[in-house]
Amino acid sequence: MIRAVARQMAGLLAPTWLQSYQAKVTLMRKARQWRQQSDTLGSIEELAREITPPIEELAKGIFGPDKIYAHQRWSEISRLLELLSAHPPTTICEIGASAGGNLLLFSQVAAPNATIISIDIDYTSPRQYAFPHLARRGQRMWCLRMDSHAPKTLAKVRKILGGRPIDFLFIDGDHTLQGVKMDYDMYSSLVRPGGVIAFHDIVPDNRMRFGVDLGSYVGEVPLFWKEAKQRHIRHLELIENPEQDGYGIGVLWLDSAKSSVGEALIT
């Protein structure tokens, strides 16, 4: 007990640069532990279950910045991973990193030599330093602390890709109607014909349905998704329960686009 208190006091009294360094090292070790654990589990579904906390715990918001986990419903993300594993993507772009769990799962179903790009305006230095260690050997992962809506961010992504198209685009960033539309319009231009685009939080939450906040927040993503699926012949909804409080994953295949999504919604 005394030693624990002493360590805590030492951490509080340490210089800011030392605290930052310690946070980076701690999270890096956790990233490496998750990557190693992924090699020992029997399937991607088991890994998804391990790194996805129960919905009740997620709703309480008890997880700190030193944790790596997937803010998902296990049944929904598992189905997406199964879909992707049929044709392992060699290029992935994720908008909205959250707590790193999605990056770990996507790297496991990606090709051994995959290029994985993660964009998050709120990336902390420890996460930006640690998350690339989630990638498998042979893969390359970039964690960009940038605004996905900025032209320079799109230019940076193009440079990393080096002329290659994106096989899988995962959009889970700005949840405003304008924000999700911008992410779609900007980055779908880099997705190859037949490539997969997925959106998180397509199910209305209780705040949207009943005006009651029970923990989930989907913003205006369901409004965008309603329009998007009408303009894409080939689409899929991964939803555990239509009456649930938020979550849900919507999947589009780019080669079936009818027209630009969102024109009828945003003026």
Under 8 Å CB-to-CB from 151, ≥6 apart: which residues? none
Which of 18-22, 132-136, 150-154, 242-246 is the least confident region?
A: 18-22
CA-CA-CA-CA torsion sign (257, 260, 262, 263): negative
Segment 150-153 long-range contacts (CB within 8 Å, at least 24 positions apart): 153/119
What pLDDT was estimated at residue 14? 56
Query: How many residues in total does the chain contain?
Result: 267
Rounded mean pLDDT of the chain? 89
Rounded Cα gap, residues 140 and 183, in angstroms: 23
Q: Is the model's pLDDT at 201 over the cut of 60?
A: yes
pTM metric for this prediction? 0.89
Query: Domain limits of the chain?
Result: 19-256
Reduced to 3 states (helix: H, G, I; strand: E, B; else coil), residue 128 is helix
**In the predicted model, is pLDDT for residue 260 greater than 90?**
no
Q: Between 74-85 and 101-109, two packed helices, what is the crossing angle to 10 degrees?
A: 30
- Residue among 113, 161, 121 at smallest CA distance from 143: 121
Which of 195-199, 226-230, 259-263 has the weakest average pLDDT?
A: 259-263
C-alpha 131/C-alpha 215 separation (Å) is 26
81-110 per-position pLDDT tens digit: 999 999 999 999 999 998 999 999 999 999
Residue-wise DSSP of 131-153: GGGGSPTT-EEEEE-S-TTSHHH
- What confidence tens digit (pLDDT) does each residue in 40-71 have? 887 999 999 999 999 888 877 767 778 999 99
> What's residue 264's pLDDT?
40
257: Cα within 13 Å, side-chain hemisphere: 17
Domain covering 19-256, topology: Rossmann fold (3.40.50)
Q: What is the pLDDT of residue 261?
A: 47
Instruction: Round to whole Å and give the CA distance between 251 and 225.
Output: 10
Which pLDDT band, with edges at 50, 70 and 90, does 3 fall under? low
To the nearest whole percent, how much of the chain has pLDDT over 90?
Answer: 72
Residue 254 in this model has a pLDDT that exceeds 90: no
